[in-house]
Structures are given as structure tokens and as C-alpha cells.
């Protein structure tokens, strides 16, 4: 049964009876009508209803630095909530329930591509608790290895031009530091992003790693470590 209800002034399209909002120890997704991007959420001792209220408060009351998420929530005519899994009735220690939920959460994040910038789950920055931080770092490392493997077999990653080869340059998300792409030279990167080559070079030579251009961070060194 599907329900349309209002929570904290936000229209919520719930893919379940309204009573399901009382469920705790649960995984649920929130999809934003504005851009159709998704966020995978979890709640432990508290019900899903409290989790939704907390999310709305964090986003709209200035407790999050994610302006894109704030825009998505404020501009959406409604959000769609789907409750995917609950361990509420399982007879096991709370710590074990938390471990199972978090591992499943990050499997869902990868499966549905809800990590930034495709979705709103962050793999860097401040996360709730040590266990979630470890799950996020593990997924980040897994994604980085997959990207590296793709680059090794990609003709575009090979510089076959004559003459002096260009210096490889790497592009990262300006906010999260998440690796995005590699180019064979500064000139190639500039053409792909409609950015000045000299500006990209200046960013790559910035030893503090704080300069950005074209909406991205840049580096000559390729690393899976975060550039924040």
C-alpha cells in the first residue's frame, strides 16, 4: 500500500502503509523529485519517522554543508521513501544488528550508485560513528580500484602522440575530493572541461591542494587518498 503524507512540511510518497514509519533498525531510501537522486539512510533504535525528521532538520536548518542536497529537498514537490530492510524483530545483540545494517547499507549505495555525485551518500567527510566511517572508506577504496582497473584497459588512458608526452593530470570533486577522471595532459584536461590550461597547472602546482578551477580540484599525483 502506498501513502502520501506530510512530515515536517515535506510531502512524502511512502511506498508502504503509514504504520511502517514506526519501524526501527531499518534501511530506507529517500529519492528527491527535483533531480531524482537518491540517499540511502538507516535508523537504529529510533523509528524511520524520526530518521526522516532528522534528515529534514539537518538539511533545511543549516546543519549540513551540502548545498546540492539542500536545493534538492527544498525544490522537490515531494520525496519518495522506500523502507528496504528491518532487523527490528531479530533476536541478536544491538551491535550485531548495527554491523549488518551498515554493511548492507553500503552494498545498496554501490548497487544503486547513490554515492556523490550520482546520489547524496558521501564517502568522505564527517560520518556518523566509527563503524560507518570504516564502511564508507572501504567502499571508496573499492571504487578507486575499479576505476584504476578500467584506466589500465582504456585506450584513452594511453598517450600515443608523437613528441614529448604530456604530463598526466587527475581531476577530483572540489567539495568531497572524490577522484573523477584522469587526462593525458593539462591541455587534454582543459579541452575536456572548458578550462584554462594555465589555471589547471596552477592548481596542480599548489602544494596545499586548496586551489580549484572549472569547479574541480587537480593534481599531477594520482592517489586514492582524499584531497580535502
Strand order in the sheet with 179-183: 179-183, 169-173, 216-219
The answer to whether residue 87 scores a pLDDT higher than 90 is yes
Of the candidates 100, 78, 95, 92, the residue with the CA atom closest to the CA atom of residue 26: 100
3-class DSSP state of 219: strand
* Per-residue pLDDT, 115: 92
Distance CA 88, CA 94 (A): 10
- State the average pLDDT over residues 113-136: 87
Q: Is the pLDDT of residue 168 over 80?
A: yes
- pLDDT for 1: 60
> Given pLDDT bands bounded at 50, 70 and 90, which one contains residue 124?
confident
Q: Parallel, antiparallel, or unpaired for β 24-32 and 38-47?
A: antiparallel
Model confidence at 81: pLDDT above 80 = yes
Q: Are 48 and 28 in contact (CB under 8 A)?
A: yes
Tens of pLDDT, residues 3-30? 889 998 999 999 989 999 999 999 999 9
Which residues are bridge partners to 207 per DSSP?
Answer: none
pLDDT digits (tens, 9 = 90+) for 32-49: 999 999 999 999 999 999
Instruction: Determine the Cα–Cα distance for residues 218 and 74; give it in Å rounded to an integer.
Output: 31
**Whole-number Å distance between alpha carbons of 82 and 80:** 7
Strand partners, 44: none
pTM over 0.75: no
Pick the residue with more confidence: 206 or 161?
206
156-169 burial, b at 16+ Cβ within 10 Å, e below that, comes to eeeeeeeeeeeebb
Q: In the prediction, which pLDDT does 161 show?
A: 47
Phi-psi region of 118 (alpha: psi -120 to 50; beta: other; left: phi over 0): alpha
Distance (Å, whole) CA 190 – CA 183: 9
Amino acid at each position: 500500500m502506498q501513502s502520501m503524507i506530510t512530515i515536517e512540511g515535506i510531502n512524502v510518497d511512502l511506498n508502504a502503509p503509514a504504520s511502517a514509519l514506526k519501524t526501527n533498525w531499518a534501511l530506507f531510501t529517500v529519492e528527491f523529485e527535483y533531480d531524482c537522486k537518491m540517499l540511502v539512510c538507516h535508523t537504529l533504535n529510533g523509528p524511520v519517522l524520526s530518521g526522516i525528521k532528522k534528515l529534514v532538520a539537518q538539511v533545511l536548518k543549516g546543519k549540513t554543508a551540502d548545498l546540492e542536497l539542500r536545493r534538492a529537498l527544498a525544490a522537490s514537490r515531494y520525496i519518495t521513501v522506500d523502507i528496504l530492510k528491518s532487523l527490528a524483530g531479530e533476536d541478536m545483540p544491538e551491535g550485531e544488528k548495527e554491523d549488518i545494517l551498515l554493511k548492507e547499507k553500503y552494498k545498496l549505495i554501490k548497487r544503486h550508485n547513490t554515492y556523490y555525485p550520482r546520489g547524496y551518500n558521501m564517502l568522505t567527510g564527517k560520518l556518523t560513528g566509527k563503524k560507518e566511517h570504516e564502511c564508507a572508506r572501504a567502499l571508496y577504496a573499492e571504487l578507486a580500484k575499479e576505476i584504476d582497473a578500467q584506466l589500465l584497459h582504456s585506450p584513452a588512458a594511453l598517450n600515443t602522440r608523437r613528441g614529448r608526452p604530456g604530463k598526466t593530470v587527475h581531476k577530483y570533486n572540489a567539495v568531497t575530493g572524490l577522484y573523477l577522471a584522469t587526462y593525458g595532459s593539462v591541455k587534454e584536461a582543459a579541452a575536456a572541461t572548458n578550462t584554462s590550461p594555465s589555471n589547471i597547472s596552477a592548481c596542480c602546482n599548489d602544494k596545499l591542494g586548496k586551489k580549484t578551477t572549472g569547479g574541480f580540484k587537480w593534481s599531477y599525483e594520482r592517489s586514492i587518498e582524499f584531497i580535502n
